[in-house]
Amino acid sequence: MKYVILIYSNPESRQLWSRLPAEQRREGLEAYTALNEALTATGELIVAEALADPAAGRRVRVESGLATATDGPFAEAKELMAGFYLVECDGIDRALEIAARIPEAAMGLVEVRPVTALSGFEA
């Protein structure tokens, strides 16, 4: 089964990260590298990506058939999407084990959701 593991950040977590000593930031990045390598070795990793700051995004809206794009940031939110993993594993328990290895999980900023196929769109 496929699961998306959503990684969030917030202003406090971004400030905390920026104030960490370089060695601790390096260790955090190494934790991601180790997780990526482990999931690749087991064949569970489909994709993992970090996302740019929300201010770099664009929102698309279609009205009366006309598409318009606006610059971000968009929503007044406490938490912002920072990145994600898409994994294929045996079940929710394994997906939760994987999510627990993400450094942001220590701050409660990781969410696991099953991926569901839309009817009529299965590959």
CB 121 within 8 A of CB 99: no
Residue 40, in any domain of the structure: yes
Residue 120, in any domain of the structure: no
- How many separate domains does the chain show? 1
Residue 103, in any domain of the structure: yes
pLDDT 10s digits, 68-89: 998 866 656 677 889 999 999 9
Determine the pLDDT at residue 94: 97
Distance of CA 72 to the CA centre of its chain: 19
Q: pTM of the entire structure? A: 0.83
Residue 85, in any domain of the structure: yes
CB 88 within 8 A of CB 76: no
Residue 119, in any domain of the structure: no
Q: Which long-range contacts (CB under 8 A, 24 or more apart) does 54-61 make?
A: 54/80, 54/81
Residue 54, in any domain of the structure: yes
CB 73 within 8 A of CB 55: yes
CB 6 within 8 A of CB 79: no
Residue 121, in any domain of the structure: no
pLDDT 10s digits, 28-83: 899 999 999 999 999 999 999 999 887 788 888 899 999 999 886 665 667 788 99
CATH number of the domain enclosing 33: 3.30.70.1060
- What stretch of H or E contains 54? none
Give the structural domain span for 80: 2-114
Cis peptide upstream of residue 73 (ω within 30 degrees of 0): yes
Determine the pLDDT at residue 121: 64
Four-CA torsion 57, 31, 101, 117, nearest 10 degrees: 40
CB 104 within 8 A of CB 7: yes
Residue 59, in any domain of the structure: yes
